[in-house]
Amino acid sequence: MPQAKMEGSSVSEILRAHSKDWGLFERAKDYALDYMGRVSDRPVYPAKEAIEALRVFKEKLPDNPSDPYELLEKLHRFGSPATVAQTGGRYFGFVNGGVIPGALAARWLTDSWDQNPALYVMSPVVSVLEEVCEEWLVELLGLPGGTAAGFVGGSSTATLCGLVAGRNFLLQQEGWDVSSKGLFGAPEIRVVVGGGAHSTVYKALSILGLGKDRLHRVPTDEQGRIKPEEMPEFDHATLLILQAGNVNSGSFDPYSEICHKAKKAGAWTHVDGAFGLWAGASDKLKYLTRGMELADSWSVDAHKTLNAPYDNGIVLCRNREALINALHMSGSYIIYSESRDGMLYTPDMSRRARAVELWASLAALGRSGVSELVEDLHGKAAYFADKLRQAGFEILNDVCFNQVLVSCGDQGLTKRTLGYIQETGECWCGGAEWNQRPIIRISVCSYRTTFQDIDRSVDAFVRARDRAGMES
């Protein structure tokens, strides 16, 4: 620590001293262990005071170097209490997974490597681990042999990559090289999406110049699944987007029939399987994804169902060339190799070595472990739904995967109940609208969730509803 305060040292001298100061890293480890040890006992959502205390960070950029011990202390004192305790067992918001200990530990180590997997020559080890993950994922999820994987920050980017590969491939078939000519004057592509598509799909379409308002939207059933009988005719200029896991209900589109038709017509099919694609890794649940292997590209997150640390998403593409053609670039200093150059598969050049945590997550669980984890999340969601039903709540979806949609009957009561649940800190759920009704949305997405966590959360639901009921 004293080095930081040495008068007259240059900043490089100071940093060099820190790079050998193991105490600094021991301190970080102590804080992290303190955090992890207490995460299950604290409010799931930070208290108001903890959030207000964050104002200590709102200061001007310091003129001079700061003591890194003081920075760590500040982060732990003010930052840790203001985190959302999503690595405990009672966070059910959005679709946010927990974190597998072995993967987190692997990340600690590999953060110290600070590798850049853009090119093989920049990091042989990460290139090899990307290759291994690609192979493991293809096998685990039941995708066609030879499918390529790109390691990106999340499903938003993965979907963007799948759709750009599809867009460019379809236009290439029409004799139009979009990467050089751009979209102006290009032949039209018809985009077909289900009414329940995730908002990131629309975002990707708008970025790609395909327009989020000029789509053919296919109506969905009461579970949010595309109705196959409402599908338009496909042709070789159709970009079709299906999903595995509706972000609210967790439902899966009926792939087999649709994908067969699309394939026959020469359309490109992308499946947004951010959290649901993992159903394919379970013998009991893979009936949900049956037929999705006929698609052309897929997006999936490791940081959701698999419980890998953030940020960890994957684009998968049956046609390796199509993905590379859409994303590669050149420059006189770039050294491509015979081995895997990761940047050929992603929009970014430099990026984190996130395949290491993916490798560690998959290896820590093994094939049977991934399957068991997915089934456990489903089983816990079903238990949650049963308990809530017994307590008089209404469950609005078939709990086919890990999502549960809850209503208190009356719309106002549902909204107020959700507000009180969020206030208690006992557990945390988000809200949404489902079939024009406000709902409380539960996602069981962490291996940390126990049956006791669910019982305790159901009690919190009941108390919140009682309190909300007294106001009506």
Stretch of 162-170, 240-248, 280-288, 380-388 lying at the interface with ligand PLP (CB under 6 A): 240-248
Closer residue to ligand PLP (CB): 119 or 353: 353
Sign of CA dihedral 415, 417, 420, 426: negative
Closer residue to ligand PLP (CB): 241 or 395: 241
The closest alpha carbon to 119, from 321, 322, 344, belongs to 344
Q: Residue 354 Cβ, how far from ligand PLP at the closest point, in Å?
A: 12
CA 137 distance to own-chain centroid: 16
Q: Residue 275 Cβ, how far from ligand PLP at the closest point, in Å?
A: 5
Residue 372, SS3 per DSSP: helix
Q: Residue 137 Cβ, how far from ligand PLP at the closest point, in Å?
A: 16
* Residue recorded with tokens 């359309």: 267
Stretch of 5-13, 73-81, 270-278, 416-424 lying at the interface with ligand PLP (CB under 6 A): 270-278
C-alpha–C-alpha distance, residues 365 and 372, integer Å: 9
ω into residue 311 within 30 of 0, thus cis? yes
Q: Residue 301 Cβ, how far from ligand PLP at the closest point, in Å?
A: 5
Closer residue to ligand PLP (CB): 156 or 407: 156
Q: Does 313 sit near ligand PLP (CB under 6 A)?
A: yes
Q: Which of 45, 91, 255, 275 binds ligand PLP (CB under 6 A)?
A: 275
Q: Residue 134 Cβ, how far from ligand PLP at the closest point, in Å?
A: 19
Closer residue to ligand PLP (CB): 275 or 384: 275
Q: Which of 253, 301, 357, 426 binds ligand PLP (CB under 6 A)?
A: 301
Stretch of 162-170, 188-196, 242-250, 280-288 lying at the interface with ligand PLP (CB under 6 A): 242-250
The helix-helix angle for 354-390 and 124-141 (nearest 10°) equals 40
H or E element, residue 317: strand 313-317
Q: Does 93 sit near ligand PLP (CB under 6 A)?
A: no
C-alpha–C-alpha distance, residues 442 and 421, integer Å: 12
Q: Residue 246 Cβ, how far from ligand PLP at the closest point, in Å?
A: 7
Closer residue to ligand PLP (CB): 110 or 155: 155
Closer residue to ligand PLP (CB): 18 or 198: 198
C-alpha–C-alpha distance, residues 326 and 311, integer Å: 23
Q: Residue 44 Cβ, how far from ligand PLP at the closest point, in Å?
A: 20
CA 395 distance to own-chain centroid: 25
Q: Which of 90, 107, 190, 198 binds ligand PLP (CB under 6 A)?
A: 198
Residue nearest to ligand PLP (CB): 154
CB atoms within 10 A of CB 363: 15
DSSP state of 436: T
Q: Does 274 sit near ligand PLP (CB under 6 A)?
A: yes
End-to-end CA distance of the chain: 59
Torsion of the alpha carbons at 446, 451, 454 and 460, rounded to the nearest 10: -140
Q: Which two tokens stand for residue 346?
A: 């992603």
Q: Does 196 sit near ligand PLP (CB under 6 A)?
A: no
Q: How far is CA 257 from CA 9, 260, 277, 411, in A?
A: 70, 5, 18, 37
Q: Does 95 sit near ligand PLP (CB under 6 A)?
A: yes
Q: Residue 45 Cβ, how far from ligand PLP at the closest point, in Å?
A: 20
Q: Phi and psi for 5 in degrees, rounded to 5? A: -100, 0
Q: Residue 270 Cβ, how far from ligand PLP at the closest point, in Å?
A: 11
Q: Residue 54 Cβ, how far from ligand PLP at the closest point, in Å?
A: 23
Q: Does 351 sit near ligand PLP (CB under 6 A)?
A: no
Q: Does 245 sit near ligand PLP (CB under 6 A)?
A: yes
Closer residue to ligand PLP (CB): 161 or 171: 161
The closest alpha carbon to 258, from 287, 283, 233, belongs to 233
Helix, strand, coil in percent for the chain, rounding step 5: 50, 10, 40
Q: Does 247 sit near ligand PLP (CB under 6 A)?
A: yes
Rule CB under 6 A: which of 132-161 touch ligand PLP? 154-156
Residues 6+ apart with CB under 8 A from 58: none
Stretch of 79-87, 140-148, 271-279, 287-295 lying at the interface with ligand PLP (CB under 6 A): 271-279
Closer residue to ligand PLP (CB): 106 or 247: 247
For 11-46, b/e burial (b = at least 16 CB within 10 A) is: eeebeebbeebeebeebbeebeeebeeebeebbbbb
Closer residue to ligand PLP (CB): 88 or 313: 313
C-alpha–C-alpha distance, residues 260 and 393, integer Å: 40
Q: Residue 215 Cβ, how far from ligand PLP at the closest point, in Å?
A: 16
Residues in contact with ligand PLP, total (CB under 6 A)? 14
The helix-helix angle for 451-469 and 411-424 (nearest 10°) equals 130
Q: What residues make contact with ligand PLP under the rule CB under 6 A?
A: 95, 154-156, 198, 200, 243, 245, 247, 272, 274-275, 301, 313
